Structure 1
Amino acid sequence: MSSIRNTAKKFVPSVRLRKYLKSFADLCLIHSAPLRHSRSLKRIKGKAVIKVAFFVVNGAIWKLDDVFRMMMDDKRFDPVIIVCPYISYNGEMMKIWMNDAYNLFTGKQYPVLMALNTNTERWLDVKNEIRPDIIFFTTSYQLTREDYYIRNFPDHLTCYVPYAFMTPNTYDEQFNQFFHNAVWRAFYETPIHKEIAVKYARNRGRNVRVTGYPGCDPFLDKSHKPADIWKKSAAGVKRVIWAPHHLMKEGLKTSNFLNYSGIMLDIAKKYQGKLQFVLKPHPMLKPKLYQYPEWGKKKTDDYFREWEDLPNGQVEEGDYIDLFLTSDALILDCGSFITEYMFTGKPSVFMISNEDVMTGWNEYGEKALSVLYHSRKFEELNFFIESVVIGGKDTMREKRIEFIKEVLMPPGNRSASENIFNGIVGEIWPI
């Protein structure tokens, strides 16, 4: 891909003309995508085993455990995870992230490959060395090398499952990138998200299938027994999660972290013996704090260590399913956890850092946020802690339950993962 780009620069020196030609080429690829996908589907139908590659840039956004296990258990599929680089980081940090993801999947005993051979510094040629029939993408953003982006696989059956519930009203970014229009199947969360795609995507959402969100499947699994990862405490002590976002200075500045970092520590100290706290930061929060001059690595590490040293506090940066299930309440300012935590049946309060935040939701986000508690100032946050968490006066509970039943439950009385898996099986081997 880079050689093609360099050649284009040589023969088409005008930046404006190159952008026009790229836009025209993208349009052609989008319009021809159904035909190419149809040919690819026809080609693999005669195969005894279907090779499926799952591209992952960060283990924290992995939501496809059940889909992957279903494929591992089905002899017709040969799934493998490819850990791709997150190129926004420098070489060393990039390798740390890749190693963390690799270790996550080896711990689950999944077949997994690193895209980078650290001994030879050579990048994996997925198209020719793995030769996948189907590729799953876990993010629509161009966060990795071009070798592992959808443009490099126009003749493959490509699938997309969002890494979180899409709540912002950045419609082009969330529903109408080249990626969304070129992917073979986009497995979306709710009928509302499908309607948004029909309205805003260039291809009018023709590749969208509503399956429910696989990240919420564990909350609906009655047989799941969550591990208790909280520090030991006396009986009756309520458990509260604080999940700050990373957008502190960018975009709508949704994160309250810079204003509340000290306040939340004080709250945790104040309620020792009554409340237990977990700091669950967004994966991008700590790296950004490292880069801020007023924070830096030492201050950031000291701050996180102070949480760990509290008798009623700790930091959790990994998987959060069991953390959510064993908690009593959530304090948040990020869109992705709004829905996932709702499935626990527990109350949550959304911290509004500024009024611009309330203008940034799509149709789904507005509906979901309407059944949560809100706080715009410390007094409202304190009311949530005192009245809802400690006092148990959860007046929004029935509204949340109704929202789950009417909007969130996966279709077909099956899990979202089952819907995704069955959808692919039905395409390849229709009954």
Structure 2
Amino acid sequence: MIIDNNPVMMGQDEIIRLATELAEAVDNNWLVDGEKAAGYTYAHLVAMFFATGSMEDGNKLYNYCYDAAIRCGKSNIDKRLRDGQKIKVAFLPISAAEWPAERIYKMLRDDDRFLPVVVPVPIIGRTKEERGKTYSQTYKYFEENGYNVEHVYDPDTEEITGWEDIGGVPDVVIHVTPWYLDMVKNYQIINLPFSVLNVYISYGLTVGNSQTGRFDELCMYNKEFMNLCWRVYTETKTDYEEFIRYEALGGKNVRNSGYIKMDYFYDEHSYTEKDIRNMWGIPENRDANGYKKVIIAPHFSVGDTNVLSFSTFDKNMYFYIYLAKKYKDSISFVFKPHPNLRNGLVKHGYMKSIDEYEAYLDEFRRLPNARVQEEGSYLELFDTSDAMIDDSISFVGEYLYTGKPMLFLERPEQRFNELGKKIIDAHYKVKGTDYYGIDTFLEDVVLAGNDTRKAIRQRVYEEELDYAGINGIKASDYIYNDIANALLG
């Protein structure tokens, strides 16, 4: 099958038809019959979510239907256990750069009751070139790092294979992005049968908001995707409280586990000089310890038409090249763009093509004190860095786990949700067009060490983000224990 590159929203007629079918099935108790239940997918539950959204007491009806669907998944798990079979678990990443679930994958892999597999999924609504590059980089990352990984997409022919070609539909799917309409249709949550239990582990902290102030409510805490999941593991107490406040399910499927990706920073790590040189651009004849190390991390949301407008990259992209040249003897830079930046620049006309973006990256790559990291884990990069310059949303919270200084680049359209408001003031801030302010951060904070906001960052971290300190357990342990205990008893 050739990939369909066009994202499709569910139409009104389809919503009515599918919601009616599900209501009939629930009323007649058909979902307790395995054969009859097999004809129902999460598209039916999405339709019911939309259909009940404007009803008086609609949440009660939706919850009733949701509970019936979840019972199908649990019944399937129970049957497999009675038959002595392993629980098949599939992870669906779209980008190695956004992969948060290494630790939980390994814990399930080491438990002989589970059979985990990673299925990298291509994204749609992109050019063939961008889709192919992201998919190839992502698949390569998992293959080279020893994961049990399935290859389902050919970037040259655009052929995509489905579940039936890789061993069948799993029992549990662990999603690491809520943006299911950006995924190829074969692997979207709405096409999974009710026999599957869906889990969501976030790839980033939710700190941004739209200018209307309702993004976090409509596109995160009460997004239809969240209301389909058996489990949603959230990163902070503030997030958990927002789910309870907004979600149609009232947060009953949400667990405040902490941010699994950040488990990395609760452990001690050591790096050889070879490790440092592999990550950072250090001239061969220079001492790696003689260079400060700064990450440049632009968001993708250039232009004025994004729901979340954070990126200032169109205003300062070439200033970064200038800085890398200016500090060639004292600072090593890694350019760490959001995976969607290349698409955003071309879509909004700031670059003519993907080739122009690649030429920009090559300018960085040619500098002796600079590197580019597009995909793969960035946790080691964070850990070995000295500072960050960014306008990327999730990193506002994530970088606080390092305890190191960040310069956040502002633009008038930026908005933050409740969590974001609590943590943004822990950072240094200048306008994205304030080249002098950016340079001063490097001179005064990074090189001279005048870090006046260190104590503020520590306080905010302890109050809002230190989930292991609050829960007494790492997020990966929390999630593994919760899944295993809930499914296996």
Compute the TM-score of the two structures, normalised by the length of structure 1.
0.89
Q: 1:135 to 1:188 in 2, by over 3 A?
A: same
Structure 2 residue aligned with 1:136, among 151, 163, 174? 174
**Structure 2 residue ranges without an equivalent (≥5):** 1-10, 20-45, 53-60, 210-214
Counterparts of 1:349-360 in structure 2, within 5 Å, are 349-354=407-412, 356-357=413-414, 360=415
Counterparts of 1:242-257 in structure 2, within 5 Å, are 242-249=296-303, 250-251=305-306, 252-257=308-313
Is 1:173 the counterpart of 2:206 in the alignment? Answer: no
**Structure 1 residue ranges without an equivalent (≥5):** 1-14
2:259 maps to 213
1:10 maps to none
Q: Distance in 1 between matches of 2:460 and 2:102?
A: 26
Q: Which amino acid aligns with 1:329?
A: A
Is 1:381 the counterpart of 2:381 in the alignment? Answer: no
Is 1:151 the counterpart of 2:209 in the alignment? Answer: no
The SS at the match of 2:126 is coil
Q: Which amino acid aligns with 2:147?
A: Y
The SS at the match of 1:296 is coil
Give the deviation of 1:218 after TM superposition: 1.2
Structure 2 residue aligned with 1:340, among 392, 395, 398? 398
1:11 maps to none
1:74 maps to 111
Q: Which amino acid aligns with 2:409?
A: M
Q: Which amino acid aligns with 1:425?
A: A
2:200 maps to 160
Runs of 4+ in 1 over 6 A off after TM superposition: 117-120
Give the deviation of 1:393 after TM superposition: 1.2
Q: Deviations over 1:14-49 (max 9, x none)?
A: x65555556763346654222332342244245141
Q: 1:29 to 1:78 in 2, by over 3 A?
A: farther
2:281 maps to 231
The SS at the match of 2:395 is helix
Q: Distance in 2 between matches of 1:120 and 1:332?
A: 34
Q: Which amino acid aligns with 1:44?
A: I
1:222 maps to 268
1:309 maps to 366
Contact 1:240–1:327, Cα closer than 8 Å, also in 2 = yes
Structure 2 residue aligned with 1:37, among 70, 80, 83? 70
Q: Distance in 2 between matches of 1:282 and 1:380?
A: 23
Structure 2 residue aligned with 1:365, among 420, 423, 439? 420
Structure 1 residue aligned with 2:454, among 369, 384, 397? 397
Q: Which amino acid aligns with 2:448?
A: G
State the identity as a percent.
29
Give the deviation of 1:80 after TM superposition: 0.7
Q: Which amino acid aligns with 1:314?
A: R
Q: Which amino acid aligns with 2:74?
A: L
Q: Distance in 1 between matches of 2:325 and 2:170?
A: 53
Give the deviation of 1:399 after TM superposition: 1.6
Q: Deviations over 1:323-342 (max 9, x none)?
A: 11111100000111112211
Contact 1:215–1:340, Cα closer than 8 Å, also in 2 = no
Give the deviation of 1:78 after TM superposition: 0.3
Q: Which amino acid aligns with 1:351?
A: L
Q: Distance in 1 between matches of 2:101 and 2:271?
A: 19
Structure 2 residue aligned with 1:277, among 315, 328, 333? 333
Contact 2:74–2:195, Cα closer than 8 Å, also in 1 = no
Q: Distance in 2 between matches of 1:225 and 1:268?
A: 24
Moved more, 22-31 or 103-112: 22-31
Contact 1:30–1:178, Cα closer than 8 Å, also in 2 = no
Give the deviation of 1:311 after TM superposition: 2.3
The SS at the match of 2:380 is helix
Q: CA RMSD in A?
A: 2.4
Q: 1:393 to 1:78 in 2, by over 3 A?
A: same
Compute the TM-score of the two structures, normalised by the length of structure 2.
0.79
Q: Distance in 2 between matches of 1:307 and 1:88?
A: 28
Give the deviation of 1:257 after TM superposition: 0.9
Give the deviation of 1:346 after TM superposition: 0.8
Q: Distance in 1 between matches of 2:129 and 2:314?
A: 27
Q: Deviations over 1:134-168 (max 9, x none)?
A: 11011111211333222223332110011100112
Is 1:64 the counterpart of 2:101 in the alignment? Answer: yes
Moved more, 144-153 or 217-226: 217-226
